[in-house]
Amino acid sequence: MKTYLRPALVLFVLLTLITGVAYPLLITGIGQGLFPSQANGSVIERDGKPVGSVLVGQAFSEPKYFWSRPSATSPMPNNGNSSSGSNLGPTNPALIDAVQGRIEALRKADPANKQPIPVDLVTASASGLDPHISVAAARYQAGRVAGSRNIPVERVNVLIEQTQETAAFRFMGEPRVNVLALNLALDAIKS
């Protein structure tokens, strides 16, 4: 047995030091040196104060803001300390009830809007922290946001257009808008 134990133990220790200590430290060194903002969470600031991460979605419920996708994290939505999807199956009545509830909330906040609601606005994201909504979901909300801010809807649509991202090389990624970036841009409008 000793013929096995010595190489096993020694190699375990040495390779652990290489892959478990030297390697993460090296990546931290390079990452902090070359990409400090990304390595530390892509935090964005407003007036010198951090207001969130451009990568992590926040919950919005006031009519004057674009709403993020529903989040199934607990106890509160968009809980960064406990990422999670709903894990509701496609035939689970709880899923259909939840979607129904979200449709009602959206309709109530904007009774005049009769367009069909884009699916991503009424379904929970995989992480519970999705920073994006689809371009369709942003356009759907434009009227409500413009109305509650007393600005022309065209102005809001221009902001959506300026914020939106599309598929790279026509297959990588989907048409989307970063909700936090869009809402910050809205707040920056001088009225």
Partner 1 sequence: MTHGSWTLLVVYMALLLALAYPLGRLIARVADAKELPLASVVEKPLYRLAGVKPEEGMSWSSYAIAVLVFNLIGAVFVYGIQRLQNVLPLNPQNMAAVSADSAFNTAVSFVTNTNWQGYGGESTMSYLTQMLALAVQNYFSAATGIAVAFVLIRAFVARSAKTLGNFWVDLTRTTLYVLLPMSVVFAVFLVSQGVVQNFSAYKEIATIEKVVYQQPKNGADGQPMKDAKGEPVMEDVTAATQILPMGPAASQIAIKQLGTNGGGFFNANSAHPYENPTPLSNFLQLLAILLIPAALCFTFGDMVRDRRQGLALLAAMTAIFVAGALATMHFEQQGNPRIAALGVDQTTSAIQSGGNMEGKEVRFGVDTSALWAVATTAASNGSVNAMHDSFTPLGGAIPMLMIQLGEVVFGGVGSGLYGMLIFALMTVFIAGLMIGRTPEYLGKKIESFEIKMISIAILVTPLLVLVGTAIALMTEAGRAGISNPGSHGFSQVLYALSSASNNNGSAFAGLSANTSFYNTLLAIVMWFGRFAIIIPVLAIAGSLGAKKRLEVTVGTMPTHGLLFVVLLIGTVLIVGALTYVPALALGPIVEHLQLLVTTVTAAKAGQ
Query: Which residues within the stretch 132-161 sit at the binding site for partner 1 (CB under 8 A)?
Result: 132-137, 139
Three-class secondary structure of residue 63 per DSSP: coil
| Residue for token pair 């994290």 | 73
Distances (CA, A) of 74 to 77, 78, 125, 153: 6, 8, 13, 35
Residue 28 touches partner 1, criterion: CB under 8 A: yes
Q: In sequence order, what DSSP letters do the residues of 75-108 get, joined into one string?
A: SSTT-TTS-------TT-HHHHHHHHHHHHHHHH
What is the Cα–Cα distance from 164 to 132, expressed in whole angstroms? 10
- With CA atoms as reference, report the closest residue to 160 among 148, 176, 174: 176
Number of residues that bind partner 1 (CB under 8 A): 108
In the complex, minimum distance from the CB of residue 31 to partner 1, in angstroms, rounded to a whole number: 4
Residue 182 touches partner 1, criterion: CB under 8 A: no
Query: Which residues, listed in sequence order, are joined to residue 46 by a DSSP beta bridge?
Result: 49
Residue 171 touches partner 1, criterion: CB under 8 A: yes
| Among 127-135, 141-149, 150-158, the segment contacting partner 1 (CB under 8 A) | 127-135
| Binders in 44-63 for partner 1, by CB under 8 A | 49-53, 55-62
What is the Cα–Cα distance from 179 to 7, expressed in whole angstroms? 54
Judged on CB neighbours under 10 Å (0-12, 13-18, 19+), 156 is: buried
Which C-beta is closer to partner 1: that of 134 or that of 163? 134
Residue 189 touches partner 1, criterion: CB under 8 A: no
Which C-beta is closer to partner 1: that of 130 or that of 146? 130
In the complex, minimum distance from the CB of residue 136 to partner 1, in angstroms, rounded to a whole number: 4
| Among 141-149, 150-158, 165-173, the segment contacting partner 1 (CB under 8 A) | 165-173
| Among 18-26, 142-150, 151-159, the segment contacting partner 1 (CB under 8 A) | 18-26
| Binders in 60-119 for partner 1, by CB under 8 A | 60-62, 65, 69, 75-93, 95-96, 99-100, 103, 115-119
